[in-house]
Amino acid sequence: MVGLGFQFDLFVRILPELLRGASITIQLTAFSVAIGTLIGLFMGMARISRYKIFHIPSTLYVEVIRGTPLLVQIMIVYYGLPSLGLNLNQFTSGILALSINSGAYIAEIFKAGIKSIKKGQTEASMSLGLNYMQTMRYVILPQATRNILPALGNEFIALLKDSSLVSVIAISELLRRGMIVYSRTYDAWTPLLGVGLIYLCITIPLSRAVNYIEKRWEIHD
């Protein structure tokens, strides 16, 4: 036994189970960030649109999602959608809820990134005969993406930790695996500290990678 009731031998035995949970956590996060990035891209562009038909719905989406708890959103997707005739399994429900949540935050990231590009570049592109979508695709978005990539990395890390909330709908991700071990052994310290350690082993390298990218780009700028 090593301080605070942590049992190293138990941790070694449960490590494979926790790692399986970590694999599911990473899958959830990767799918959700990929889908959330697509949602965020379109919503971010809609947020800066001059047309109210795009601006108002996208603003409403961002404000509602950012203003309500992720846990509530997960439960609405999983328990609420079946009443509308849409039955999703736990994993799909988790990805949908996380993607919708992530999309709202990524929309603001894209909005800030696009606005960071000088208006003169848009005007110059238009004068060369490019339409709005071509200007966004070939001129604005490539530059904006470089500016926002560190922020997207931080969003990935934040969502990785927030994904633990899907344990409430019985997805066997990392935290739920830890709680299952706790219910089986009545030892809270070992599985929960193990869960925290695995999260650190994932998030610290990701944080370092994001910091490295930021510093490299600062040098080149």
SS (H, E, C) 32-43: HHHHHHHHHHHH
According to DSSP, the residues that pair with 2 across neighbouring strands are: 6
> Residues 129-159: pLDDT tens digits?
777 778 887 788 888 888 888 889 899 999 9
H and E: helices and strands count for the chain: 9, 0
Per-residue pLDDT at 13: 93
Q: Is residue 144 a contact partner of residue 114, using CB atoms and an 8 Å limit?
A: yes
> Among 65-79, 108-122, 150-164, which is the least confidently predicted range?
108-122
Comparing 15 with 7, which gets the higher pLDDT? 15
> Residues 166-216: pLDDT tens digits?
999 989 899 999 999 999 988 889 999 999 999 999 999 999 988 888 777
Look up residue 168 and give its DSSP letter. Answer: G
For residue 136 the two structure tokens come to: 């966004």
For residue 19 the two structure tokens come to: 């790692």
Instruction: Tell me the CA distances in angstroms from 143 to 66, 75, 111, 132, one per residue in order.
Output: 26, 37, 13, 16
Name the range with the highest mean pLDDT among 82-86, 96-100, 170-174.
96-100
The DSSP secondary structure of 58-117, one letter per residue, reads HHHHHHHHHTS-HHHHHHIIIIIGGGGT----HHHHHHHHHHHHHHHHHHHHHHHHHHTS
Residues 6+ apart with CB under 8 A from 157: 203, 206, 207, 210
User: CA 133 to CA 145: how far, in whole Å?
Assistant: 16
Domains, the chain, ordered by start: 8-220 (1.10.3720.10)
pLDDT band at 220 (very low <50, low <70, confident <90, very high): low
pLDDT band at 5 (very low <50, low <70, confident <90, very high): confident
Q: Is residue 5 a contact partner of residue 189, using CB atoms and an 8 Å limit?
A: yes
Look up residue 163 and give its DSSP letter. Answer: G
